Amino acid sequence: MRIEKCFVCGANVYPGHGSLYVRNDAKMFRFCRSKCRKTFQRKRHPRYLRWTQAYRKTHGKELANDLVFDFEQQRSRVPKYDRELVGQTLAAMKRVEEVQTARRTAFYRERMKVRKHVEQRQAERELAQQSMSANIELVTTAATATERQAERLARSSVRQRVRVPAGPSDTSGIPAAIEDEECRTNGKREKMDVAEE
């Protein structure tokens, strides 16, 4: 008795369910339901159908290339009954399940992180476009307006702080190497100025 996997969608096929197709080159294909069998008969490619596991994994929607999956494999040889081995296997299965769930969850969170930003940006762009086309000014509340103003102020003050001086006389913000260069080209007077400062 074995729980098989569907050739098309990757779902479990329990004993007494689904169907099996044996091609005349002795290759076997299992299907979990008629939908999957028909998909196969129409020669659709499971890798490019969005509802299959093959699609989800090859397109980075789900955890795919991970060592945790190597624990569960189809084995063609049946091991000899051993009470201890059964106990160990059952314990290991539980542990593997835990690890797999944790890694899947982590992968999902990581994937959704990016998605959140992308969605936000998309929404903003859409909103801007719509307001442009409809010639509507976006309504801003007093709170957001003051917030924006504060933000703008903060940004401008930062700009002031990092502003690089235009003239050679004010060299306070210039790194040492450039300062030396300036002094050599502009003579002694500027050097005195710097010293005074």
Partner 1 sequence: MGSGRKRHNRAARMTRRAQPDLDQIHAEYHAVQSRTVARREPLDIDKPGMGQFRCVACARYFVSVSAQRAHERTKAHRRRLRQLHTDVPYTVQEAMQAAGLGAMRIDQHATVR
Q: Report 1-30 residues binding partner 1 (CB under 8 A).
A: 5-8, 10-12, 23, 25, 27-29
Q: What is the DSSP string of 72-139?
A: S---SSPPPP-HHHHHHHHHHHHHHHHHHHHHHHHHHHHHHHHHHHHHHHHHHHHHHHHHHHTT-PPP
Q: Which of 14, 20, 72, 184 binds partner 1 (CB under 8 A)?
A: 72
Q: What angle do CA 21, 22, 26 make, to 5 degrees?
A: 160
Q: Which of 1, 67, 134, 138 binds partner 1 (CB under 8 A)?
A: 67
96 binds partner 1 (CB under 8 A): no
Nearer to partner 1, 2 or 83 (CB): 2
52 binds partner 1 (CB under 8 A): yes
Q: Tokens 């569907």 sit at which residue?
A: 6
Residue 4 main-chain phi, psi, to 5 deg: -85, 170
Q: What angle do CA 16, 22, 24 make, to 5 degrees?
A: 165
Nearer to partner 1, 63 or 183 (CB): 63
Nearer to partner 1, 48 or 181 (CB): 48
Q: Which of 1, 2, 26, 74 binds partner 1 (CB under 8 A)?
A: 74
How many residues contact partner 1, by CB under 8 A? Answer: 35
Radius of gyration of the chain, Cα coordinates, nearest whole angstrom: 33
Give contact residues for partner 1 (rule: CB under 8 A): 5-8, 10-12, 23, 25, 27-29, 41, 43, 45-48, 52-54, 56-59, 64-70, 72-74
